[in-house]
Amino acid sequence: MVLYTGMSADNATNSSGDVAAEDSGETHKNARKSVVAVDGDDNDLEIVNRLEAHTGDGIRHRAFTALIFDEDDNILLAQRAPTKRLWDTYWDGTVASHPNPGQSQEEATRQRLEDELGISPDQYDDLRQTDKFEYKRYYPQEGVEHEVCAVLKLTLQDTSLDPVEEEVGGLMWVPYERLYENPRWYRQLRLCPWFEIAMRRDFE
């Protein structure tokens, strides 16, 4: 599996890639959560602390990003809330998170859609995994993402949304192909690195 590496385009870090987490230890809510550490082929290794997995050089772990479309092939972009530790106020396409130990990617996606956007399973019937890739990105002075990331997609038959303010700063429907082919038109939008990789792999 190809490993996509780099750092946030809007920031700089030292040559060693070291980062210091501003929120650390028991003060951060992720200190009480776990993720599944995996090898490069997405095989389970162990359960690790979620905050530790995103601090320093990071620990490779399982994750997912879910791309939500309407029936006209517009993608729903969701702005990450300013309280997020990593990539706060960046635009995601549409939600991203980590399955709990023992939870499937599909189950985790359904849960996240409901928790963040108020989307219930009866609003779609085509949830499926379409891709998977490994990437590593530093967010200087805050942390790192090193994930084997599954890509899931679905089309909403009912586009009713009820976003949770603590998770979502804004929402925007955008033509998916136009977003990829005309980045200058959307240059005011800072896109999450995992979404940029997923979108590029869709079209290249």
Q: What DSSP assignment string belongs to 52-92?
A: HHTSTT---EEEEEEEEE-TTSEEEEEEEPTT-SSSTT-EE
SS3 25: helix
147 is catalytic: yes
Alpha-carbon radius of gyration of the chain:
16
Do 150 and 63 form a contact (C-beta atoms < 8 A)?
yes
Distance (Å, whole) CA 106 – CA 46: 21
**Which one of 116, 134, 147, 196 is the catalytic residue?**
147
The burial class, CB within 10 Å (0-12 / 13-18 / 19+), for 114 is middle
The candidate with the shortest Cα–Cα distance to 84, out of 167, 185, 149, 22, is: 167
- Residues annotated catalytic, as ranges: 147
